[in-house]
């Protein structure tokens, strides 16, 4: 592996290695995650970083809450003193990022970056992510993320048509995938090794790759999910099963990322599924192809329109339009809807509350969605209605390979 990564100038090869094989250990990841993200740790001096980490901001209380409930699953055998030291570093990291870029709520992602790459490299990478791959997750409201989650349906269709048809028949909204995108599964998986392997994949490829990994995981556990959706519980039971999905229960990350062996697929009962792992799904149906084929427009999210910068070769996202920024801060979006005049909580509201609940501490899980969002610290107002997804003109053909 170390020999294969010596010509690190070949970013295309590095992306392929990180996605298909993984970067194996923390030493390689600390070095190459910086390269894959396009971060520059030298852009901010150590003194400037410390000054920023001591800064104050309106979300200081949220950072404190996030830090207090972080690192448990990633450091299961750590002592109290070691965990306390890591949490101090995490608090500095999150505060410095908020002061520099205004993004918050990324404590799950930040925890993995900190434990693997170290504090300074984690700061540089997280700053890059807040303006790049995870930009939609650091906007003032949920609207951009809910919008891009609408792309889950065609990705599911490519992975498992039968499961996708069941979800449509049950009118299942894609809120189950909320934490998949916002936390890169780091809130859901057990152990730092699994989370780090997923980060290899997500840092190397398109910002929407978490949706493809989620679809591949769903297809790998299709029997249980089909049974949940067809049981007496119907849509709520399927939503709950997806919200609590252990993505590596049937297949490891390597198999979820790359084409699975036919024997594995047969053992998992995939005769009715199109199958294919995340990279294969991306090659068959990229985000560019999805938005070009559908009579939909993406007005607020920028991740679906990500592109590889010609000069640096790293993934970038376009700037949000002025109209998008206006809507994100509470302006009228014209469409929306989803509320009812009956006073009864709409079904979409309940599904969103359940999806948010897994990201919050126990006491906040029973709060109304608006209060939950304030606890989460990601947004200032709750999105009203179902996700808004409309047509976007196709601006160019996708690459044949996700790392090409």
Q: What residues make up the domain containing 224?
A: 139-404
Which residues on adjacent β-strands are paired with residue 391?
A: 297
- Residue 134 counted as domain residue: no
**pTM assigned to the model:** 0.79
Q: Are residues 152 and 231 in the same domain?
A: yes
- Residue 359 maps to which CATH number? 1.10.472.80
Q: Hey, how many other C-beta atoms are within 10 angstroms of the C-beta on 336?
A: 15
User: Which own/partner pairs from 44-52 qualify as long-range (CB within 8 Å, at least 24 positions apart)?
Assistant: 44/100, 44/123, 44/124, 46/120, 49/96, 49/120, 49/123, 50/92, 52/95, 52/96, 52/99, 52/100
Last residue of a domain, one of 129, 161, 195: 129
Reported as a single tens digit per residue, the pLDDT across 88-120 is 999 999 998 887 765 556 899 999 999 999 999
Distances (CA, A) of 162 to 121, 210, 225, 226: 43, 21, 11, 8
Q: Are residues 150 and 121 in the same domain?
A: no
Per-residue pLDDT for 6 more than 50?
A: no
* CA neighbor of 11 nearest in space, from 379, 311, 271: 311
The tokens describing 178, both together, are: 């909320």
According to DSSP, the β-strands at 315-316 and 307-308 are: antiparallel
Distance between CA atoms of 247 and 254, rounded to whole angstroms? 12
Q: Are residues 110 and 166 in the same domain?
A: no
Q: Are residues 70 and 200 in the same domain?
A: no
Cβ distance 38 to 309 under 8 Å? yes
- Residue 5 counted as domain residue: no
Helices (H), 205-233: 209-220, 222-230
Confidence of residue 144 (pLDDT cuts 50, 70, 90): very high
Helices (H), 135-191: 143-149, 152-159, 161-169, 178-183
Last residue of a domain, one of 129, 153, 179: 129
Reported as a single tens digit per residue, the pLDDT across 247-291 is 999 999 999 998 654 345 445 554 444 456 999 999 999 999 988
């Amino acid at each position: 592996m170390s020999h294969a990564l010596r010509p690190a100038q070949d970013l295309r090869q590095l992306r392929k290695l990180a996605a298909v094989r993984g970067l194996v250990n923390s030493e390689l990841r600390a070095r190459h995650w910086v390269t894959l993200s396009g971060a520059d740790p030298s852009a901010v001096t150590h003194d400037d970083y410390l000054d920023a980490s001591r800064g104050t901001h309106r979300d200081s209380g949220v950072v404190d809450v996030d830090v207090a409930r972080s690192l448990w699953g990633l450091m299961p055998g750590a002592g109290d003193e070691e965990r306390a030291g890591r949490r101090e570093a995490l608090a500095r990291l999150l505060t410095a990022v908020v002061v520099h870029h205004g993004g918050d709520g990324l404590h799950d992602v930040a925890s993995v970056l900190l434990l693997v790459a170290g504090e300074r490299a984690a700061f540089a990478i997280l700053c890059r992510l807040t303006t790049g791959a995870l930009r939609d997750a650091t906007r003032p409201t949920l609207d951009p993320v809910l919008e891009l989650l609408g792309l889950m349906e065609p990705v599911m269709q490519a992975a498992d048509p039968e499961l996708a048809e069941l979800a449509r028949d049950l009118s299942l909204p894609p809120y189950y995938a909320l934490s998949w995108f916002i936390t890169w599964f780091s809130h859901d998986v057990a152990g730092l090794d699994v989370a780090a392997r997923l980060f290899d994949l997500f840092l190397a490829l398109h910002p929407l790759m978490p949706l493809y990994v989620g679809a591949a995981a769903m297809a790998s556990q299709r029997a249980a999910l089909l049974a949940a959706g067809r049981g007496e519980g119907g849509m709520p039971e399927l939503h709950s099963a997806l919200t609590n999905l252990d993505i590596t229960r049937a297949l490891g990350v390597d198999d979820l990322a790359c084409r699975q062996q036919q024997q594995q697929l047969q053992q998992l009962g995939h005769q009715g599924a199109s199958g294919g792992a995340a990279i294969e799904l991306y090659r068959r149906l990229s985000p560019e192809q999805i938005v070009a084929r559908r009579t939909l427009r993406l007005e607020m999210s920028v991740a679906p329109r990500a592109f590889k910068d010609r000069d640096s070769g790293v993934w970038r996202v376009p700037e949000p339009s002025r109209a998008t920024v206006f809507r994100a801060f509470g302006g009228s979006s014209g469409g929306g809807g989803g509320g009812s005049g009956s006073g009864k909580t709409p079904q979409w509201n309940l599904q969103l509350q359940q999806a948010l609940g897994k990201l919050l501490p126990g006491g906040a899980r029973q709060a109304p969605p608006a209060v939950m969002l304030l606890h989460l610290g990601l947004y200032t107002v709750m999105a009203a209605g179902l996700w808004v997804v409309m047509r976007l003109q196709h601006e160019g053909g996708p690459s044949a390979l996700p790392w090409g």
